[in-house]
């Protein structure tokens, strides 16, 4: 009976969260919640000052938001959007990545040239790692052994050992690296360079750049092509790259690493998030104050959904 109740609770609890999309609005100081099935806005909720990076625990119970101007990470119940507690983050947290196990959280402190490691259960700082100028992009290897930080003015991807909290390698990339993303099999690391206009493909084992992906869009000034967010499908077949003020998301073939498509989305597209089934990809469009829903199979924009002021980050609840 107890068992049955537990199963019942689980089945009841899951649909409420599944496919819920959370978008931080940097200037609006709130999070817009979207129903990923109906593509309708469910509501918006205050989350502190200058919310940027956003992520969710693997079990879907804790929603983490970088409240940059509050100098901390605020944690919310994703169901009720009530704040449950805060985590120390170091000053000006911008973007973070959660260890695949859900603990700890690795936070880029943009103003302080640090990566702060925070225990999400004990709510305390485990380490502070000095990195380059303006750390932003944070990626973690699927096995959780390596965390990548990109520093925007130093122009490096720093490899951080998650056991020792020490930097083990630095890879120089093109100007203003914004984002770091591993493929799900851990064999490739993608680092986007906003001013350089490229995505560097790095072999994590040798820490060498194996390929540089470039973009060219007829009718769009090369200066406007500014890669930021990167997402890779689970099978590694498609890589999506948000191109900022080019207002497009590039689709890159995972085998040839050639660009196959450009999808027109809203203005100044920065961050991306898949739904758990990877049917849809959400984009944050900071200048048009909306998100675009992309159909992953067909590379087409399905719908634009107005959110708050200057949408920055996006995460979708796990199943």
Partner 1 sequence: MRSPNCLTALALLAVVPMPALAQAPAPQAEPQLIRAAVLRVDTPELPPISRLELPPEDLGFAGARLAIEDNDTTGRFMGQDFEAVEVAATPDTAGAELDRLLAEGIRFVVLLADDATTVALADKAGDRALVFNAAARGDALRGADCRANVIHTAPSHAMLADGLAQFLMWKRWPRWFLVHGSHPEDLALAEAWRRAATKFGAQIVEEREFTDTGGARSTDSGHVQVQAQLPVFTQRAPDYDIMITADENGVFAGYMPYHTWDARPVAGSAGLVPRSWHPALEAWGATQFQNRFERLANRPMREEDYQSWLALRMVGEAATQTRSAEPAQLRDFMLSPDFQVAGFKGQKLTLRDWDHQLRQPVLLTTGLLTTSVSPQDEYLHQTSPLDTLGIDRPETACKF
Q: Minimum CB separation from partner 1 for residue 150, in Å?
A: 13
- How far apart are CB 267 and partner 1 at their closest, in Å? 13
Q: Which residues bind partner 1 (CB under 8 A)?
A: 92, 110-111, 113, 129-130, 132-134, 151-156, 158-159, 166-172, 175-176, 195-196, 206-209, 221, 223, 226, 245
> Least Å distance between CB 60 and partner 1?
31
Q: How many CB atoms neighbour CB 170 within 10 A?
A: 16
Smaller CB separation from partner 1, 21 or 269: 269
CA 295 to chain centroid: 18
CB of 117 to partner 1, least distance (A): 14
> Nearest Cα to 313, choosing from 39, 55, 18?
55
Using the minimum distance from each CB to partner 1, give the nearer residue, 212 or 299: 212
Give the H or E element holding residue 180.
strand 177-182
Closest contact distance (angstroms) between CB of 245 and partner 1 is 7
217 token code pair: 């869009």
Our CB check for partner 1 shows the closer of 36 and 93 to be 93
Could you tell me where the DSSP H helices lie in the chain? 2-17
Residue placing its CB nearer to partner 1 in the complex, 78 or 245: 245
**Closer of 91 and 254 to partner 1 (Cβ):** 91
* Terminal CA-CA length for the chain: 25
| Closest to 39 (Cα-Cα) out of 266, 306, 233, 296 | 306
- Work out how close the CB of 304 gets to partner 1 at its nearest, in angstroms, rounded to a whole number: 22
Which CB atom, from 41 or from 224, has the smaller least distance to partner 1?
A: 224
The vertex-42 CA angle with 38 and 43, nearest 5°, equals: 155
* Interior/surface letters 229-241, b for 16+ CB within 10 angstroms, e for the rest: bbbbbeeeebbbb
């Amino acid at each position: 009976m107890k068992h049955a109740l537990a199963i019942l609770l689980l089945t009841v609890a899951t649909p409420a969260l599944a496919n819920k999309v959370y978008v931080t609005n940097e200037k609006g100081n709130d999070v817009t919640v979207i129903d990923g099935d109906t593509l309708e806005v469910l509501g918006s909720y205050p989350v502190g000052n200058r919310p940027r990076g956003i992520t969710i625990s693997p079990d879907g119970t804790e929603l983490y938001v970088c409240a940059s101007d509050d100098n901390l990470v605020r944690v919310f119940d994703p169901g009720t959007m009530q704040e449950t507690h805060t985590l120390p983050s170091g000053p000006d947290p911008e973007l973070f990545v959660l260890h695949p196990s859900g603990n700890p959280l690795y936070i880029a402190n943009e103003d302080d040239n640090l990566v702060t490691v925070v225990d999400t259960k004990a709510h305390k700082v485990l380490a502070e790692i000095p990195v380059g100028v303006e750390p932003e992009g944070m990626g973690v290897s699927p096995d959780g052994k390596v965390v990548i930080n990109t520093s925007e003015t130093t122009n490096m991807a720093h490899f951080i050992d998650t056991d020792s909290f020490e930097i083990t390698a630095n890879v120089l990339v093109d100007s203003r690296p914004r984002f770091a993303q591993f493929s799900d099999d851990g064999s490739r690391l993608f680092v986007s360079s906003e001013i350089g206009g490229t995505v560097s493909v790095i072999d994590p084992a040798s820490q060498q750049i194996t390929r540089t992906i470039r973009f060219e869009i007829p009718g769009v000034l090369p200066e406007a092509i500014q890669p930021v967010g990167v997402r890779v499908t689970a099978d590694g077949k498609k890589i999506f790259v948000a191109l900022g003020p080019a207002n497009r998301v590039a689709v890159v073939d995972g085998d040839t690493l050639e660009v196959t498509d450009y999808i027109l989305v809203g203005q100044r597209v920065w961050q991306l998030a898949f739904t758990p089934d990877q049917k849809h990809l959400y984009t944050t469009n900071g200048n048009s104050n909306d998100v675009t829903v992309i159909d992953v199979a067909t590379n087409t924009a399905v719908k634009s959904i107005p959110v708050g002021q200057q949408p920055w980050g996006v995460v979708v609840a796990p199943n």
